[in-house]
Amino acid sequence: MNPIDLDHVLTVLGAPSWGTDEQSRARIAGALSLTVYDGHTRDQGTPYLEHPLAVVTLLRAEIGVSHPETLLLALLHDALEVAPESELLLVQHLDALFTGRLRAMTADHRIEQRPKAADDETRWRFKQATLPPEDLLVRLADRLHNLRDLVASPNIDRRRRFLQSLGDFYLPLAGAACGLSPHLETMHTLLHAEYVQHQQEVRP
């Protein structure tokens, strides 16, 4: 497979059809995604950037999202998780408001670059439950792609824990958000269908 370049990132975003200012911002965000995710891989061994690009594709093709800023948020949603040191760079090139949205979507222990503490899961769930609708949509799209990608994960215990968290937190969260937008309603339907399918696959 050829390395992912800026033109590919812009095509996945749908940026060629955006306005001039939005295309300029997309080029900046796309270049940052290439820098921030460079050298990072998923536990499946694939280049990390493939994941946020898949989340963007999911949002555009299956949920019908076309708002540029939401798609840029999806592109960089894991930036502070994999490279917390990139925060200043993101502020400088995309502004503090956008970076603050990314920060709100990232677990505290990832940002602070420390081991996960006993109360971090509770804090993380609270952060996600208080996200505004568009940001929550991106976070749920991330979970949906992770769910679809579980089959490629070599860690069976991780797969079980992932499905458990979906059942006891993410699906109820998505269900409660259904009325906030048609996009979130569609997301809940897709997430639930995938969850049921994968739950059957991993059941002893």
Give the type of residue at 143.
R
- Extract the tokens encoding 170: 């993410």
> Alpha helices of 76-181 — where are they, by DSSP H?
79-82, 87-94, 96-104, 108-111, 120-129, 133-148, 156-165, 171-176
How many CA atoms does the CB half-sphere of 138 hold within 13 Å? 26
Q: What is the pTM of this model?
A: 0.93
pLDDT per position as a tens digit, 137-191: 999 999 999 888 877 666 677 777 888 888 899 999 999 999 999 999 999 999 9
Taking only the tens place, the pLDDT of each residue in 85-98 is 999 999 999 999 99
CA dihedral sign, ordered 163, 142, 168, 181? negative
